[in-house]
Amino acid sequence: MKDLLGACLSGLCILHCLFTPVLLALGGVGVIGSWLGSEWVHYLLLAPIALILVWSLPLSWIKHRNTTPLCIGALGFSLLLMSLFVPESAEPVIAVLAGFILIAAHLLNRRLLNTSTPHSLAS
């Protein structure tokens, strides 16, 4: 469930990055256009993405002992953070790439949880 929520939040981030410039280019959409174009929306989207990532991947690693989702998630989140500090023209490209990487991390994590046998802490 956490991974599906994480993938959906990352998808929402992708949609924001792809459609906000289009909406603004079409003449804005009033309050919604100014809200979507605001800088604080990035932080509003980033906070739950970070929380779900930290809540899901490390706890799942305890169960399946595969570090791949952690590494992929760390790469995706690093790129997402980096997108906040690059020139505005590069921001959507990096953020969309980061969103897809985060979705991949969550979906891989979910698959590993569904197919792996639980490890005991003693082994």
Neighbours of 87 (CB within 10 A): 6
Please calculate the CA angle 90-57-13 and round it to the nearest 5 degrees: 30
Domain ranges of the chain: 2-115
Question: Tokens representing 50?
Answer: 């970070």
pLDDT tens-digit series, residues 41-85? 778 888 999 999 999 999 999 999 999 999 999 999 999 999 989
Q: Residues 94, 83: contact at Cβ < 8 Å?
A: yes
User: Model pTM?
Assistant: 0.84
Count of CB atoms situated within 10 Å of the CB of 7:
20
Q: What is the pLDDT of residues 91-105, one digit of tens each?
A: 889 999 999 999 999
H/E run at residue 38 = none
